[in-house]
A and B are shown apart, each in its own frame.
Chain A
Amino acid sequence: MSAPPPSLGRRMVRHYLSRVLFVVAMGLVLVFFALPMLWLVTAPFDADPSLTVGWPDWTLANFAQLAENRYALGSLRNSLILGVGTMVLVLALGSLAAYALSRVRIPGRDGLLYALLLLSSIVTGTAAMVPTFQLMTQIGLINTQIGVILVLAGGVLPTVVFILKDFMDSIPKSYEESARLYGASPLQILTHVVVPTARPGLAFVAVWTVVQVWGNFLVPFLLLRTPESQPAAVLMYTFYTEGGQPDLRLLSAFSLVFSVPVIAMYFLVNRRYGFRFHGGIKS
């Protein structure tokens, strides 16, 4: 504090230095995140893909070969059903619960929420598969996509409620107060005031949920029987031989086809609803 204010020249130097640092740092971040992705965008188009990233010997033959696989397209449709189904279910139930928990003090709510969050870590692990499988068999939901959706939803709901509640806590309450003055019911307030305000948060949770489901192998694999009903995460493992060797042509093409929908979904959701934890209303 006792140092004299820096001269204009020194400030310029510092300004440029920090610009350079900024560019270098961002460049490093860019390389770090882009480097592994290069394989995903080159190998599928290479006539003879290897593990090395290189300028491809351009061809679409790998995709043509993939199109001949009778399960490939259907598996993406199944992933979509499971992903969207789970997402809709947890958004509906999660926003109701999160809103109530956010606005009404229920004794022990934070403890309960965190306990459920912890339990969800057990159930998504490998140890719980026998109980889950037996449960689904007992209630007749084995080999149904609804069953898979319910199990996946149960697994992600605590996290969804946790995130959404955090989000709703931060939403200003003045709009709800006015809506109430005009005689709106709590459900109307939720659907007409809170949900639109919370839209970016809901969008985030929606994408997060679909991503979780999209990559989940174990639950659909164990609960569904026929390959016609299996999602892409399960089908991906068929592109290995009995000796465990990957068929790089099919695997690279399928990896790309498998990844594009989730990336596209992020773009779409981000463009349409924003992708933030805080809504647009400032009080």
Chain B
Amino acid sequence: MSATGTAAGPGLRRQPGRRRRADDVAGLGRVRAGLFVAPALALIGLFLVFPAVWTIYLGMTDYRLTGLAAANPEFVGLDNFATALGDDEFWHSLWLTLIFVLVSGVIGQTLLGFSVAWALRRVRGWVKSVIETLVLAAWVVPASVASFLWLALLDRRTGTLNALLGTEGTAWLIEYPMVAIIVFNVWVGTAFSMLLFSSALAAVPPSQLESARMVGAGSWQQLRDVVLPNIRGHILTNTLLITLWTFNTFTPYLLTAGGPRDESAILAVYIYTTAIPGGQLGMGAAISLIMLLINLVIALGYLRVARAASGGRR
């Protein structure tokens, strides 16, 4: 039973002294493990870490893509960071981003994804396939297509939504820009949580659910006492990835371009408008790094909560 738990689950923790040999069942050893990891690390090192470090350096210059600063960029140290942190627009954008990540990602996608997975866990046949396929389709359709579908749906004059609701002339993207991009992002991203949780639910040992039922536990109690402890690792994985992805998603730009009047200018959009139309690549790089650090802090928070939760159950 311990083997079907997940990495972060407490169930699989073995005796500390035996762990390494017990985990390394294929007899890899550190050297060979290093060899296994090396190709991936080399690729990541050259095509990811190198440009990323360069970008961090750009964040400390006044570099621009064109103009005088393109010919002679100057090192400005932490000026960009100070400017960004002293700019109301940045804080406004950060606030929008936090709302966006929390509501559309952590709450929207996760809850909807889990609910669909939970509701469909014992359903078979066409209902399950149709729903799963539609949710999946929203996820695999390319961003440029997905955004256009929503532009058509929400159009003020000829949009399908206005026709259905009888709300002719409602400019959803202008009157409710944040709601629009949040709902859109839930639509796009729910599939990941649904997939992750439906596999996680399938792996909950039936024997445990059986015993819970035998003692008369209802659905809600089964969920709380058996299911959630079993899928804690999946919840952590899900939340970590969803948070990171939602922070970085640029697709809302294709819907609202951050507008009207920056009302939907989440950080990824703010960085784009600063770096490309605004031309300030150095500043854009600096804000990217700030965003990365915020992500780091949030991730550490998640880990702490997860540890506390698993510790509390011992």
Contact = CB atoms under 8 A, between A and B. Distances in A.
Interface of A: 22, 25-26, 29-30, 32-40, 43, 50-53, 89, 93-94, 96-97, 99-106, 114, 116-128, 130-132, 135, 150-151, 153-155, 157-159, 161-163, 165-166, 169-170, 172-174, 176-177, 179-180, 186, 189-190, 194, 200, 204, 207, 211, 214-215, 217, 232-233, 236-237, 246, 251, 255, 258-259, 262-263, 265-267, 275-278, 282-283
Which of B23, B48, B152, B296 has the most chain A CB within a 10 Å cutoff? B48
Shortest 9 CB-CB distances between A and B: which pairs? A154-B47, A100-B36, A131-B54, A215-B142, A277-B199, A97-B40, A104-B33, A100-B33, A169-B7
B3 interface: yes
A255 B148 contact: yes
B182 to A, nearest CB: 13
A218 to B, nearest CB: 9
Nearest to B130: A30
A125 B248 contact: yes
A116 to B, nearest CB: 6
Contacts of A258: 142, 145
A128 B141 contact: no
20 contacts: A32-B187, A36-B146, A37-B134, A51-B155, A52-B160, A103-B33, A106-B34, A118-B296, A118-B299, A119-B49, A121-B244, A122-B55, A135-B50, A157-B44, A158-B48, A170-B233, A186-B32, A200-B199, A246-B148, A263-B137
Contacts of B148: 246, 251, 255
A277 B195 contact: yes
A219 B60 CA distance: 24
Given A32-B187, A262-B141, A119 B52 contact: yes
A126 B271 contact: yes
Interface in B18-58: 19-20, 22-30, 32-34, 36-37, 39-41, 43-44, 46-52, 54-56, 58
Contacts of A158: 44, 48
B159 interface: yes
Contact of B30 (A104, A131, A189, A282): A104
Q: Is the interface of A mostly helix, strand, loop or mixed?
A: helix
A177 to B, nearest CB: 5
Question: How extensive is the interface on chain B, given as a class?
Answer: 35 or more
A266 B146 CA distance: 17
Nearest to B144: A236
A51 B152 contact: yes
B51 A128 contact: yes
Contact of B285 (A127, A154, A174, A255): A127
Contact of B48 (A119, A163, A259): A119
Given A119-B48, A121-B248, A127-B58, A114 B299 contact: yes
What does DSSP make chain B's interface, helix, strand, loop or mixed?
helix
Given A33-B134, A36-B149, A53-B160, A277 B200 contact: yes
Contact of A190 (B20, B26, B135, B146): B26
A18 to B, nearest CB: 9
Contact of B140 (A100, A251, A262): A262
B272 A33 contact: no
Interface string B85-121: 0000000000000000000000000001001100100
B41 A97 contact: yes
A215 B134 CA distance: 18
A104 B23 CA distance: 7
A153 B43 CA distance: 8
A126 B55 CA distance: 10
Contacts of B44: 116, 154, 157-158
Contact of A37 (B112, B137, B158, B241): B137
A93 B43 CA distance: 9
